[in-house]
Structure 1
Amino acid sequence: MKRIYDKPRIEKYIEKHQIYQYFDTPDLTFFACRYQKGEFLNQSDKEETYLQFIVDGIVSIYFVREDGSKYSLECGEDLLLIGEMAFASPPPSPFLFYAEAVTEVTSIVISLEQHRTALQKDRRFLNFLVYVLSRKLSLVTGCESISLPLEERVLNHMKYYCQDGILNGIEKTAFRLHCSSRHLQRVLNYLEQQKIVEKCAKGTYRLL
């Protein structure tokens, strides 16, 4: 991620996408960020401090449930707002939402640390926020999980839900992943052979 402070360039993006129309608050400070393909624009397991308007490039937004299943929420080139969940309700949220750059991406950014108090009183922005959140809620209720093999769901669970990537307890993990303990053990043995995880103790594995 690279920050950009080129004011004429930033102003051009703001005018093109009419970003000022979403605010009544005067004198907001904007900067831009440039992301490479594959970079994460935000991760909800980490505290976010920015609102980001995607003005160039394609972003994929998805969440991963505790059972390791992955749900694609949105992917496109339309103007997207990222960081509204952190503004509306601090972490942790019920699901882990991720925004990943599918191509090179440019965003116009507002610091929540600097402007949160003013934005909490900005009726126009709050109305826009309600629209964004209601739209994402409708997408969540209508989306279907991406079919993933158990190996991938195990890795997702370890990466996103296990502290330090350490899985403890075969039976309770199998219950969360909706599989049998025997099937989970076979998968863990395979992942250990592939040197993707290592066995630390009986029923305990660490993601490498």
Structure 2
Amino acid sequence: MERIYDKKEIADCIASSKYHTVLDSLDVDFYLIKYQKGELVSSPFQNEILFQIVEQGSINIYCIRDDGTRYSLSNGAADYFLGDMDIFYPKSNNIYAEAAENLTCISFSIEKHREVLLSNNKFLVLICNSLSTKMGVITTMEAAPASLTERVLSYMKYKCSNETLKGIEQAAFHLHCSARQLQRILNQCENAALVKKLGKGTYRLISQPHSPDTPEGPY
């Protein structure tokens, strides 16, 4: 991730935005953020709450449930908003946005400028349109099926502290599988160099390329 504060580059990016008229009316501190493919653009772990507009590239937005199941919520390209819900509601603990390719976003702090945003009618109209569209898309989407292997890896990455699973029985309960099934999956993942065994019932996720092939089993 790279933050850019060059005034000319920011001005050029805003001028080319579909929303330049509204953005010009906002008295906020704009900057650009560039993400590499595979980087998280938004996640529950981020302390700063940002409003971001995709200017170049695309993103995938998904939800990770407590059992490691991954639900695709939306895909976004140029002109897509991130952070629109965060203006009104506490940040979700389960929703992630990931750069599907190299990405450039116009960005600013929501917390720092909340009063300015809520007092700008043109901006609020944009937000209402954005949220309405997203709700319409989400209600027509179905959760993509995921193998137990995929759920285990997602559970370790997003729900385990330091990406480390501790305790087979407890993890199996959250993953809705038997301890024997989970142990078999972990053994497969260890053989495939996807996880490392640290001790009895303790496994740490090994960093992989952005789209690793995961071993499949008859589960």
Change (3 A) 1:171 1:113: same
The answer (yes or no) to whether the contact 1:48–1:86 under 8 Å persists in 2 is: no
Q: CA deviation at 1:25?
A: 5.5
The answer (yes or no) to whether the contact 2:58–2:100 under 8 Å persists in 1 is: yes
Change (3 A) 1:24 1:57: closer
Q: Does 1:197 align with 2:196?
A: yes
Q: Does 1:166 align with 2:164?
A: yes
Q: CA deviation at 1:26?
A: 4.1
Q: CA deviation at 1:30?
A: 1.4
What is the aligned partner in structure 1 of residue 152 from structure 2? 154
Query: Which has the larger strand fraction?
Result: 1
Matched residues, percent identical? Answer: 40
Q: How many residues align?
A: 205
Structure 2 residues not aligned, in runs of 5+:
207-219
Task: Pick one of 101, 111, 115 that aligns with 1:103.
Answer: 101
What is the aligned partner in structure 2 of residue 36 from structure 1? 36
Partner secondary structure for residue 110 of structure 1: strand
Change (3 A) 1:99 1:115: same
What is the aligned partner in structure 2 of residue 90 from structure 1? 90
| TM-score w.r.t. length of structure 2 | 0.79
One-letter code aligned to 1:70: R
Q: Does 1:65 align with 2:97?
A: no
The answer (yes or no) to whether the contact 1:25–1:119 under 8 Å persists in 2 is: no
Task: Pick one of 169, 184, 187 that aligns with 2:185.
Answer: 187
| TM-score w.r.t. length of structure 1 | 0.82
* Structure-to-structure mapping, 1:1-12, within 5 angstroms: 1-12=1-12
CA distance in 2, matches of 1:118, 1:175: 46
Deviations 1:47-93 (A, max 9, x none): 333211101112222222222222222224241111223332223x2
Larger RCO (CA within 8 A; separation ≥ 6): 1
CA distance in 2, matches of 1:49, 1:140: 22
CA distance in 2, matches of 1:138, 1:178: 30
Change (3 A) 1:88 1:56: same
The answer (yes or no) to whether the contact 1:60–1:99 under 8 Å persists in 2 is: yes
Change (3 A) 1:60 1:54: same
